[in-house]
Amino acid sequence: MIPRSQPSVQSTDGDSGHWQAQLRQSTMTAAQLLAKLQIEPSPALAARGQDQFPLRVPPAFLARIRRGDPHDPLLRQVLPLAAEDSENAGFSHDPVGEGAAQKQPGLLHKYHGRVLLTLTGACAIHCRYCFRRHFPYADANPARGAWQQTLDYLRADTSITEVILSGGDPLALTDARLAAMAADLAAISHLKRLRIHSRLPVVLPERITAELLDWLTASRLKPVLVVHSNHANEIGPEAVAALQRLYRSGIQLLNQAVLLAGVNDNARALIDLSETLFENNVLPYYLHMLDAVAGAAHFNVSDAAAGELLEQLRTRLPGYLVPRLVREVSGEPYKTPLL
């Protein structure tokens, strides 16, 4: 194992100031986004859905979108299309039954041994396919007041060995708050692992600060970071550097992607994603079928098409670079494999 870097007390303020400044420079309207990308506005490229789930694109992600191409696979993930406004049978506001799995504000206990905490509703990027776009975060946030109650719940159930920090994006919180939470969790002796699900290493690589690496690697809990990347084009030089800092700190890196029509629903894109991830020491973990969330039907890929894609990946890649194709089915004891 490569030794940890020096404690970073000297550089911390600069670090966090930098990622927060980057975040403030996000593009927040479709008109601005299209202008920056030199794309002509058109009726198909503007949805009312923006009112409840506004557009948000951080600078590093913007830099990875091709200029002048309305069909760019990264653009499609963030641009509210008019198609969002259409009603589609079977697409609802709580597609994976999170309501029932919520045992306390922001605490989801759905699978054996693992508890997922939705720490914040904030994200650095707003992904149009996101199933959390309708989630009532304001009342579902253990970081806001219910933290002692969360710790009590975790202490009382010794079958829990892993806590998953999720959101929103948990890395939207400051390192000071996350470090304090991690310390509280590490004091619960039956916990073994601390897992973070975040899109920030890829979409806001500046977020991978020395402070973050410090508290994460100082913990007794084994750290796992599941990055969310859907397309190899997302992984530019800054993301490569961020992933390298994480890897060198000894953090287990996995990726989860969502299978999205018009973004990554072809074998070439999925193979490139797996290859690029592995070059950066990230193992493909899950490839999720889209959750049937209202406003995202235009991203849907059929089971038959998904199965064929997976078959092509299996034919072309080593087994460890083939992600598990899964779907979230409410009431099931694990994420359900499609094949």
Ligand X SMILES: *Cc1c(COP(=O)(O)O)cnc(C)c1O
For the annotated binding site for [4Fe-4S] cluster, the residues are 123, 127, 130
Whether the CA torsion 52, 121, 323, 281 is positive or negative: it is: positive
Instruction: State the residues that interact with ligand SF4 by CB under 6 A.
Output: 123, 125-127, 130, 132, 167-169, 199, 228
Tell me how far, at minimum, the Cβ of 166 lies from ligand SF4, in Å.
8
Q: What does 132 interact with, of ligand X, ligand SF4, none (CB < 5 to 8 A by kind)?
A: ligand SF4
Among 116, 212, 287, 289, binds ligand X (CB under 6 A): 116
Residue 101 lies near ligand X (rule: CB under 6 A): yes
Binding residues: 123, 127, 130
Residue 111 lies near ligand X (rule: CB under 6 A): yes
Residue 257 or 270: the one with the smaller Cβ distance to ligand SF4 is: 257
Residue 222 lies near ligand X (rule: CB under 6 A): no
Q: What does 164 interact with, of ligand X, ligand SF4, none (CB < 5 to 8 A by kind)?
A: ligand X
Tell me how far, at minimum, the Cβ of 69 lies from ligand SF4, in Å.
21
Residue 45 or 290: the one with the smaller Cβ distance to ligand X is: 290
- Is the Cβ–Cβ distance between 225 and 198 less than 8 Å? yes
How far apart are the C-alpha atoms of 329 and 112, rounded to whole Å? 15
Q: What does 238 interact with, of ligand X, ligand SF4, none (CB < 5 to 8 A by kind)?
A: none
Q: In sequence order, which residues have a C-beta less than 8 Å from that of residue 244 and are 6 or more positions away?
A: 280, 281
Tell me how far, at minimum, the Cβ of 261 lies from ligand SF4, in Å.
16
Tell me how far, at minimum, the Cβ of 149 lies from ligand SF4, in Å.
23
Q: Order the strands of the 107-111 sheet from edge to edge.
A: 102-104, 107-111, 114-118, 162-166, 193-198, 222-228, 252-258, 283-288, 324-327, 336-337
Number of shown-chain residues binding ligand X (CB under 6 A): 9
Which amino acid type is present at position 147?
W
Tell me how far, at minimum, the Cβ of 49 lies from ligand X, in Å.
24
Residue 114 lies near ligand X (rule: CB under 6 A): yes
Q: What does 106 interact with, of ligand X, ligand SF4, none (CB < 5 to 8 A by kind)?
A: none
Which amino acid type is present at position 40?
E
Residue 163 or 226: the one with the smaller Cβ distance to ligand SF4 is: 226
Residue 147 or 285: the one with the smaller Cβ distance to ligand X is: 285
Tokens of 13: 């303020």
End-to-end Cα, the chain, rounded Å: 37
Tell me how far, at minimum, the Cβ of 198 lies from ligand SF4, in Å.
8
Q: What does 101 interact with, of ligand SF4, ligand X, none (CB < 5 to 8 A by kind)?
A: ligand X
Tell me how far, at minimum, the Cβ of 248 lies from ligand SF4, in Å.
25
Residue 186 lies near ligand X (rule: CB under 6 A): no
Question: What is the chain's alpha carbon radius of gyration, rounded to the nearest angstrom?
Answer: 19
How far apart are the C-alpha atoms of 71 and 302, rounded to whole Å? 20
Q: What does 290 interact with, of ligand X, ligand SF4, none (CB < 5 to 8 A by kind)?
A: none
Residue 278 lies near ligand X (rule: CB under 6 A): no
Q: What are phi and psi of 48, to 5 degrees?
A: -70, -25
Backbone dihedral region of 291: left (phi > 0), alpha (psi from -120 to 50 degrees) or beta? beta
Residue 113, number of CB atoms within 10 A of its CB = 13
Q: Quick one: 211 exposed, middle or buried, by C-beta within 10 A (0-12, 13-18, 19+)?
A: buried
Residue 210 or 293: the one with the smaller Cβ distance to ligand SF4 is: 293
DSSP state, residue 66:
P
CA nearest to 154, candidates 117, 180, 120, 179: 117
Residues at the interface with ligand X (CB under 6 A): 101, 108, 110-111, 114, 116, 164, 334-335
